[in-house]
Amino acid sequence: MQTVTTITDVRKRVAEAKATGHSIGFIPTMGALHEGHLALIRRARQECGFVAVSIFVNPTQFNEKRDLEVYPRPLEQDLLSSAEAGADLVFAPEVGEIYPAGFATQVVVDSPLTKAWEGYFRPGHFAGVTTVVAKLLHIAQCDRAYFGEKDWQQLAVVNQMVRDLSLPTVIVSCPTVREADGLAMSSRNARLSAESRKTAKVIPYLLDTAQDLLDSVTAETQTDKGPVIAAWLRTLLESNAPEAKLDYLVVVDPETLAEVDEITERALVIIAVHIGGVRLIDNRVIVRR
Ligand code: PAF
């Protein structure tokens, strides 16, 4: 595996791989790689001839300075795990390589998709994401790019951007990888104290309960209605983890992320909650059966 820091070097390696007939798989990351990222790299390894990973803590998608400052950057370890998972190339640029002096362009998905939920609680976040992802996809010239479903809204926004700009990359969405107790893998989990880590189990518990509520719907409970399920789950959160600070916990349409009332086929439960000062997000598709 080779590590490069310049756009020129990425383009050179990718052009060489294409010249020998390889398809290009790309995994954009902010580093602090965990099993969730490694699953994306392994999947790309199975599906593509050449696998490139970017490790770049993108400052423009952080709406809180402190969050950016404390974001973990274990580069050496990340390089080892990328190689082990099957990457051929890691692109680990400095900020100035991506945003040189005078950088002035933004790629913005201007729709309700970027205004709700993460967009509401993290102003400017999605503009930062789409600008850097558009730039990285151009740099990597990839056939397929891999994203985790844990950031479901991000995936929906990236898909919208790729459609709108007719980008030639296929976006591959990959299932969330979870710890043994169900907590979604996240670079932020490392910041949880032992006690908060225990409390965080409430998140997968709530998401599983959403499916149980839908399964056990009756005319009295009306738990085939998004707002009814969400209200139950909020009450459960309050009783199980009164110290948690909720940003949102709602039942939405998996494509538009607009709140749904009656669930006829499937819906998505999304949650963002602060536990012990760490903001965690997760989601789960629930199915009427
Ligand atoms: O999901 C992430 O880690 C980031 O948002 C991404 C896609 C690498 C863009 O910086």
pLDDT tens-digit series, residues 64-122: 999 899 899 999 999 999 999 999 999 999 999 999 999 999 999 999 999 999 999 99
- On whether the CB atoms of residues 169 and 145 are closer than 8 A, the answer is yes
pTM summary value: 0.97
Residues 184-224 have pLDDT tens digits of 999 999 999 999 999 999 999 999 999 999 999 999 999 99
Mean pLDDT of the chain: 97
Residues 265-282 have pLDDT tens digits of 999 999 999 999 999 999
Q: How far apart are CA 110 and CA 243, in angstroms?
A: 35
Residues 117-170 have pLDDT tens digits of 999 999 999 999 999 999 999 999 999 999 999 999 999 999 999 999 999 999
> pLDDT confidence of 181, banded at 50, 70, 90?
very high
Q: How far apart are CA 196 and CA 201, in angstroms?
A: 9
Q: Is 118 in the pocket of ligand 1 (CB under 6 A)?
A: no
User: Radius of gyration over alpha carbons of the chain, in Å?
Assistant: 20
Q: Is 132 in the pocket of ligand 1 (CB under 6 A)?
A: yes
Q: Which residues are catalytic?
A: 37
Q: Which of 58, 90, 157 to mutate to test the pocket of ligand 1 (most atoms within 8 A of CB)?
A: 58
Q: Is 153 in the pocket of ligand 1 (CB under 6 A)?
A: no
Q: Which of 30, 37, 68, 73 to mutate to test the pocket of ligand 1 (most atoms within 8 A of CB)?
A: 30
pLDDT the model gives residue 151: 98
Q: How far apart are CA 89 and CA 212, in angstroms?
A: 44
